[in-house]
Amino acid sequence: MGVGSFLEVYTTLFGWLLYDNVWSVLSDTGLAYIPFFTVIIRNFSEPYMSQEAKDAASVSQRRMELDIIAMFVAVIIVVSPWMNLTLGSQTYTEACSASPAVTGGATGTTYDTIFTTTALGGSVAKVPIWWYMVMNLSGAINDSVIAGINCTVDVRQVQYEVNNTKIKDKSLKDDLSKFHNECYLEGLAKIAENPSAAETSFNAGTFDDDDRDWIGSKFFTNTAGYYDSIRATSPVDGFAYNATRDIEYDSTVATPTNGRPTCKDWWTTATTGLNARLNNEIPAAKNASLTQFGALIGNTLAETREDALKTVLLNSSVTVDSLDRMALQGLNSEGSNEIIRGAKAGVKHVTAGVTGAFAWFISETTLITIQNLMPTMQALILMTIYFLLPFVLVMGGYKWEVIITATFVIFGIRFLTTIFAVLLYIGNNLFGAINQFSPNALVNSIETKSVGEIYVDLAVFLMWVIMPSLWMGMIGWAGYKSAASVSTGASNAKQTGDQGTRAGGSGAGKIASMKGKS
């Protein structure tokens, strides 16, 4: 039986274990049988209050036959627990993921160790036949519809993970700060000495416009006269002393353990280079999602990982001075002109306006939260419904209109799994459309967003509220109308039976009267 989230695997079992406990209490105390006495009393009293005794007896008998049969059927297939439900019988397939379906107890999440069968109160729950069929049917529909959606990577989740990744290695942070001061600032100073030579490369499209905005600039690394000639001002761990290169030291006096590498070697050397060490902060396991993210906006894995590295540097606040230079706003052809860049940012902020900023704040701070919160709330709400269902059925007198309404509610809430998958698809593709070839797509900041991006984010956020609400309103209305039609049908059947009984009784009386006269 398919469920909608990792958590729902456990809350479903727990909810039905609670159902079993509640139903046992209602049965043992006799409360579960009160609706039967109510039906008997009602079907005796109502006909006798409105008809003659002989007709009333026949009407009462027919009414009780219909009501008692309907109630017994409801109790047998809708209320009484029969079917076994275990953790292993429930499966969850993560939407838009290549991962195989997982079963309860082996989801690979921390839920496995927390929600043990002991903690849940048992390993097997009993579920009424009706609700077992409803859950199986809704799970199959969810799986089938989601399988037909052309899934893409969850861009909000990738953004969230990258934007919350910080450098944990303190020595790496110190080395990056040292590299920034001794290499990157020197490179910028060389550009300032001869800006026209640098602009020739950028105007020709050899490098990205924002390439110089971070310490791992390809321009500085691959252009002669920059990182290949600038060297560290003091020895660097991991780079051995080289007498040919480190001529500042007199080997006859003392030979240092570490040498002073060129900035290019310091950045690009495998294993000990800063680029390799920085890349280790983003595990290779994330390459699959980063590849899909890049493909959605037209970037390669290398380009996407570079954007991720820039974001990690910003998150880690390597140096105060470097934050502005690594703000990822793009230099275009103005070189390092901070005044022009500041003016551009100011115009951008004015264009977006207060409404745009508010929209960004609401969408970006709430969207990832609501995406992760909704499936959790869905699982908890379903658990609550399963738990309280015995009270609803008993207090509803085992009426089929109550059963049908509850069926529509449970199906509607379980189908939200598909609604969430559709919303992810829409949000991801709108994000991809608006961020085509964007060098800053991973950066979750208003500094890097256009007005169009802000309002797309707000629209997606509103759809996460509107679409589930609209669906539940529609399914609730359908359930109400279906329940009303069942109630009307039952009422008409009773009226027909009552009229037939009265007509039969009247006809019999007339025949007896005629026989007496003859």
Hunting for tokens 């390809």 — which residue is that?
218
Query: Could you tell me whether strands 91-92 and 124-127 are parallel, antiparallel, or unpaired per DSSP bridges?
Result: unpaired
pLDDT digits (tens, 9 = 90+) for 154-171: 888 888 888 888 888 889
Tell which residue, 312, 327, 252, 317, has the closest CA to residue 282. 312
In this predicted structure, what is the pLDDT of residue 448? Answer: 56
The residues that bridge with 85 in the sheet, in sequence order, are: 125
In this predicted structure, what is the pLDDT of residue 413? Answer: 95
SS3 18: helix
Instruction: Report the C-alpha gap between 384 and 397 in whole angstroms.
Output: 20
In this predicted structure, what is the pLDDT of residue 84? Answer: 94
In this predicted structure, what is the pLDDT of residue 346? Answer: 43
In this predicted structure, what is the pLDDT of residue 27? Answer: 93
Whole-prediction pTM: 0.76
Instruction: Report the C-alpha gap between 248 and 346 in whole angstroms.
Output: 47
The single-letter code of the amino acid at 371 is: Q
**DSSP state letter for 286:** G
How distant, in Å, are the alpha carbons of 215, 231, 272 from that of 259? 21, 10, 13
First and final C-alpha spacing in the chain: 73
Q: DSSP assignment of 368-423, as one string?
A: HHHHHHHHHHHHHHHHHHHHHHHHHHHHTTT-HHHHHHHHHHHHHHHTHHHHHHHH
In this predicted structure, what is the pLDDT of residue 246? Answer: 79
φ, ψ of residue 92 to 5 degrees: the values are -135, 125
Tell which residue, 325, 349, 304, 329, has the closest CA to residue 442. 304
Count CA atoms within 13 Å of residue 206 on its CB side: 15
In this predicted structure, what is the pLDDT of residue 411? Answer: 95
The single-letter code of the amino acid at 414 is: R
Angle at 391 between CA 387 and CA 396, to 5 degrees: 135
In this prediction, the residues of the chain whose per-residue pLDDT falls under 70 are 42-63, 96-98, 201, 203-205, 252, 319-365, 437-441, 443-452, 486-518
